[in-house]
């Protein structure tokens, strides 16, 4: 079974009198455990595609399945539940909650999933340790560097044991050392826990480490290169 399967997916936006074909007929499957990147110039549809896959948005046509579950005919609540259980999303702007500590930002997911409170520390502590954030657990996002905030965003994306992590330009705001460390860490999670990763990026460092680079232009996939 595919981790992600899209067939003929389209998403249009109205802009003034015209229509923008943000995603324009995408067929794409990712097998479980892939470590793949979307590439393409700004405006080529990468974010829109990730949002569709992540169930943050719905396609205008085409079908989409996550772990074999077709999402088209799901209600908004069912889609939110599927997202909560199966997908971790790392937003480009991190989207951390400023009034919560690092620990609480990550804990938020477990609360939403209904994981019993007594299990939270045992779930969160090893992830923060793995990400080099153990000392930061009680800090607030504004007390962290950009790279640290990005790692908290990754911790939040993986704490719920997702099968898929989607990350929109995860290295865009990081210096090259921090970006390399973050990619290394995501690769470890990919190898050890079998999590499927799909990034969007402009960053050659991301493409070098990806096992597959899917190039987009004008809302379409025009090249799909696998590497070993
Ligand atoms: N909410 C929106 N409303 C109108 N147009 C949008 C919206 N989101 C994206 N677009 C347009 O869709 C196209 C693809 O955008 P996007 O998916 O953000 O590309 P990328 O992430 O590759 O830069 C662009 O032309 C963009 O202007
Ligand atoms: Mg984008």
pLDDT in tens, 16-42: 999 999 999 999 999 999 999 999 999
Mean pLDDT value of segment 139-165 = 94
Structural domain includes residue 19 = no
- 213 Cα to the center of ligand 2, angstroms: 16
- 38 Cα to the center of ligand 2, angstroms: 10
Q: Which one of 43, 50, 220 would you pick to mutate in the ligand 1 pocket, going by the greatest count of ligand atoms within 8 A of its CB?
A: 43
Does the beta carbon of 77 sit less than 6 angstroms from any atom of ligand 1? no
- 191 Cα to the center of ligand 2, angstroms: 26
Domain containing 129 equals 33-55+83-226
Does the beta carbon of 51 sit less than 6 angstroms from any atom of ligand 1? no
What's the full length of the chain, in residues? Answer: 228
Residue bearing tokens 């560097």: 145
Q: What pLDDT is stored for residue 172 in this prediction? A: 85
Higher per-residue pLDDT: 210 or 91? 210
Structural domain includes residue 69 = no
Number of structural domains the chain divides into: 1
Helices (H), the chain: 46-53, 76-86, 102-113, 120-130, 146-158, 176-193, 204-209
Question: How would residue 185 be classed by pLDDT, with cut points 50, 70 and 90?
Answer: confident
Structural domain includes residue 12 = no
Residue pLDDT, tens place only, 109-148: 999 999 999 999 999 999 999 888 999 999 999 999 988 9
Structural domain includes residue 65 = no
Q: What pLDDT is stored for residue 143 in this prediction? A: 97
Ligand having the closest approach to the CA of 172: 2
Structural domain includes residue 198 = yes
Identify the CATH number of the domain in which residue 42 sits: 3.40.50.300
Question: How would residue 228 be classed by pLDDT, with cut points 50, 70 and 90?
Answer: low
Does the beta carbon of 201 sit less than 6 angstroms from any atom of ligand 1? no
- 44 Cα to the center of ligand 2, angstroms: 8
Distance CA 89, CA 166 (A): 5
**Cα–Cα distances in angstroms (integers) from residue 70 to residues 3, 54, 162, 173, in the given order:** 11, 12, 17, 34
Residue pLDDT, tens place only, 49-108: 999 999 999 999 999 999 999 999 899 999 999 999 999 999 888 899 999 999 999 999
Does the beta carbon of 100 sit less than 6 angstroms from any atom of ligand 1? no
pTM tops 0.85: yes
Question: Which residue minimizes the CA distance to atom 17 of ligand 1?
Answer: 45
Structural domain includes residue 15 = no
Does the beta carbon of 214 sit less than 6 angstroms from any atom of ligand 1? no
Q: Which one of 48, 50, 172 would you pick to mutate in the ligand 1 pocket, going by the greatest count of ligand atoms within 8 A of its CB?
A: 48
Question: How would residue 11 be classed by pLDDT, with cut points 50, 70 and 90?
Answer: very high
Structural domain includes residue 11 = no
Tokens encoding 169: 């330009």
Structural domain includes residue 137 = yes
Q: What pLDDT is stored for residue 227 in this prediction? A: 80
- Which ligand 1 atom is the nearest neighbour of the CA of 50? 17
Residue 75 backbone dihedrals phi, psi, to 5 degrees: -75, 170
């Amino acid at each position: 079974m595919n981790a992600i399967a899209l067939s003929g997916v389209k998403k249009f936006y109205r802009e003034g009198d015209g229509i923008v074909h943000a995603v324009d007929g995408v067929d794409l499957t990712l097998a479980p455990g892939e470590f793949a990147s979307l590439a393409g110039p700004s405006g080529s549809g990468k974010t829109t595609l990730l949002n569709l896959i992540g169930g943050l948005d719905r396609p205008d046509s085409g079908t989409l399945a996550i772990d074999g579950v077709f999402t088209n005919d799901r209600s908004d609540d069912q889609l939110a539940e599927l997202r909560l259980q199966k997908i971790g999303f790392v937003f480009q702007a991190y989207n951390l909650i400023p009034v919560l500590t690092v620990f609480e930002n990550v804990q938020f997911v477990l609360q939403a999933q209904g994981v019993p409170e007594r299990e939270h520390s045992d779930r969160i502590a090893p992830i923060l340790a793995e990400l080099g954030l153990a000392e930061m657990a009680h800090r607030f996002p504004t007390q962290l560097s950009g790279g640290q905030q990005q790692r908290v965003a990754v911790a939040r994306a993986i704490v719920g044991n997702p099968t898929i992590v989607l990350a929109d330009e995860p290295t865009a705001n990081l210096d090259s050392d921090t970006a390399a460390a973050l990619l290394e860490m995501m690769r470890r999670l990919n190898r050890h826990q079998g999590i499927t990763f799909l990034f969007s990026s402009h960053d050659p460092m991301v493409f070098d480490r990806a096992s597959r680079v899917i190039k987009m232009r004008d809302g379409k996939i025009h090249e799909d290169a696998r590497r070993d």
